[in-house]
């Protein structure tokens, strides 16, 4: 991916104008968005990592199932959240 952006400088052009021209050419060429999109690209997960993750998940499932069969799991009960008290304003006493 080699995209060259070429800017020619004449004698009468100052550096600020050249910088603006360069920025405009870079925007037109589309290099900046391509580079920014590649900034956070992650590598694909290796097969070994996938296998290890799967084994950990299987072991956890096996342990959970064993505890469930033994009756050692605590059952969770649903406790609804308390609602915040509503704010009521009373008229000021005269």
| Helix (H/G/I), strand (E/B), else coil: 24 | helix
The answer on 48 and 33 residing in a single domain is: no
Domain for residue 52, yes or no? Answer: yes
Long-range (24+ apart) CB contacts under 8 A made by 32-38 are 34/1
Residue 93 pLDDT: 58
The pLDDT-based confidence of 29 (bands split at 50, 70, 90) is: confident
Q: Which domain holds residue 48?
A: 43-72
- What pLDDT is recorded for position 74? 78
Characterize 53-72 residue by residue with b for buried, 16 or more Cβ atoms within 10 angstroms of its Cβ, and e for exposed.
eeeeeeeeeeeeeeeeeeee
Q: Do 29 and 48 sit in the same domain of this protein?
A: no
Q: How many Å is the Cα radius of gyration of the chain? A: 32
How many structural domains are present in the chain?
2
Average confidence score pLDDT of the chain: 84
Residue 62 and residue 52 in one domain? yes
Residues 52, 35 share a domain: no
The predicted structure's pLDDT at residue 1? 56
User: Residue 20 in contact with residue 53, Cβ under 8 Å?
Assistant: no
Residues 37 and 48 in one domain: no
pLDDT at 45 over 90: yes
Collect all residues with Cβ–Cβ distance below 8 Å to 31 and sequence separation of at least 6: 3, 5
The answer to whether position 66 is within a domain reads yes
22 lies in a domain? Answer: yes
């Amino acid at each position: 991916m080699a995209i060259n952006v070429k800017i020619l400088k004449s004698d009468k052009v100052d550096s600020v104008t050249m910088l603006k021209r360069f920025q405009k050419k870079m925007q037109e060429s589309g290099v900046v968005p391509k580079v920014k999109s590649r900034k956070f690209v992650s590598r694909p997960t290796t097969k070994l990592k996938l296998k290890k993750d799967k084994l950990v998940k299987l072991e956890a499932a096996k342990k959970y199932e064993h505890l469930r069969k033994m009756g050692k799991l605590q059952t969770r009960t649903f406790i609804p959240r308390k609602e915040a008290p509503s704010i009521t304003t009373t008229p000021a006493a005269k």
